[in-house]
Structures are given as C-alpha cells and as structure tokens.
Structure 1
Amino acid sequence: MLHDTSAEFHDFFERHYAELSRLAYLLTGEKDTADDLAADALVALWQRWDRLQAAQSPVAYARGVVANLARERIRSAVRERRRVALFWSRTTEQVDGPDVAGMLDVRAALTRLPFRKRACVILRHAFDLSEKDTATALGVSVGTVKSQTSKGMAELERLLGTEAAGELAAGRRNR
C-alpha cells in the first residue's frame, strides 16, 4: 500500500511539478522562488496525499497551494521593501550621534556584571529610576539598590575606565 501511494505521488510529481513551478514563476516573477514554492507545495500535498489522491482534482488543490504560497511570499517581500524604504528614507541630518563603539563597549561591560548589579545600574542610569523605584522593580531594599549600583559602577569603571563610567553616570544626571 505504501509503495503504491508513493508511486502515485511520484507520478503526480513528475506530471505537475513543471506546471506548478511555471505558475509560481508567473505569480512571483522569480525563477528560484518559483522552484521553491512548487517544491513547498508538493511537500504539503505529500503530507496530505492519502486524502488528496481520492479528491476530484488534486492538481487544482496544488495550484491553490502554490497561489497561496506565492501570495504570502509577495506580501512578505512587499513588507520587507516597505521597511527598507522607510529606513533609508529617513533624512540624514548632521547631528552629533552616539558613540557607537563606546555604546558597544558599555554593553559588553554591562554583560560582564552579575545580574543584580547590572539591573541596578541599568534601571538607575539608563532608565533614570529613583532608588526606591528601582528597589520596587527588583523586589529588593533601597539599601541593596544603593550598594549594588555603587559596586556595579565601580566594576564598570574598572572595565571601561573612570572617564567612560563617569559619562554613563553623568548622562543620567543631565536628563
């Protein structure tokens, strides 16, 4: 039985793969995508072949699967193009931007801190929360926030240098 089912699907594949690929090409305009969509459709058909082989027109079902896959691919491509266009259409004004390399250094240094110290430093200095709000957010005492923030900043000074850690703390005070 399995051999017969496999042989029937193989025959279906041989008869209709080129047609399904051509349909996908006409829908998407992309040859490689068309081959992928036809193959994906046939995989979906194979998974349901025990039910589809008895259907009146399995090839009609296959065409519908290809059309749906092509529609999804086109929609995805359109969304991606819109995101790219939106990203590149932003005006490029000359402003003093952030020091990307410095930000990466800070991020790397923060990941080296134990969680509680890192959370205290981030909540206090990046989110500008008070000691009380930080304590509430973390479920610890205000004294713990004070000590963990102090120790975290000392560790950052050791990792980044006094000037960089001072700029991080000054950024909080200047907001």
Structure 2
Amino acid sequence: MNVDTVLLGPPDESTFSELYKEHALGLTRLAFLMVGDRQAAEDVVQEAFLGLYRRWRSLRDPGKALVYARSAVLNGSRSVLRRRRFPFPGNDLPPAWSAESEVMVGEDRRQVLAALQRLPARQREALILRYFLDLSEEEAAATMRISRGTVKSTTSRGVAALGRLLEEHQ
C-alpha cells in the first residue's frame, strides 16, 4: 500500500492494517535506536499507532499518516528517555534483538552505537533518521518538525561529532 493513497475519514481496518504491517518494524527500529530497550520501543510504536487511529479523522492530510506516526514515535521515545536517569538501562549500548543478532553485530557497530548515544539528542535523532532509517532530508525534517536546512546542518554537526567520539575511542 502506498501511504499517499490513504483516504479521508476513519481508516478502514485493511487500510490501517496495511500501514501497520508496512511500517511497524521500521518504526520499532527507530524507537529501539532511541531508547535501547525492545519492550519500550514496541510500547512506543503501539502508542503511536493507537494515537494515529484515534486522530485519523482530524489529520489534515491523511496521506501523511506515516509522517505523523514517525513524529509520534520520536516524541514517545523522547518521553521514555526523559523518565530515565541514563539513556540505556544498565549499560552504554542498546541490547541486540536476539542472541543471533548479537553475534552479527560487530565491534565497529557497537562502537558507533555507543558513540551515537553520547551525542546531543537532536544530532542523534537526525543521524538515526537519515542514516539508520535512510530517510531523505525532507522526510527527516517532517518527522522532527524542523526545516530541511536544520536537518542538514544538524546532520553535518552530528557526523563530525560522531567522528571525534570514534577517534577518541581508538
């Protein structure tokens, strides 16, 4: 289903189900990269879709339902992080999805994820949206509710800061 084909009014069950099926995993990855806890990430995504369903009739442009969901996931992740004293429970880096994936995650990736968590929140969000989720500048800007130019400059500063953090580690 193409999100641009979503019709006005309450979503029919198949439309909403298709939106969920196509995008829940990617949104869960976004939340997971932000909060570092699988259960919390899944909860954030469920809340985002619940909010989307409840507000469907009031969406100005239902074709942008995915943008709304991404923004809701990002905001929900921020709320989870605000309630915590440390970004990740018990360690400096998010847990792996499974034992098998832990083996596949190389030391370089672990270092990048750990360094990513040391960045300011906005830089971390911009880098996750642009490079982990492969969103365009426009999509990241809509998700973060900032201008495209701000995404561009924040991403640039984030990449530079990430490089410095990774050099310190070596």
Fold match (TM-score > 0.5): no
Task: State which structure, 1 or 2, has the greater radius of gyration over its C-alpha atoms.
Answer: 1
Per the normalisation by structure 1, the TM-score is 0.40
Q: Which is richer in helix?
A: 1
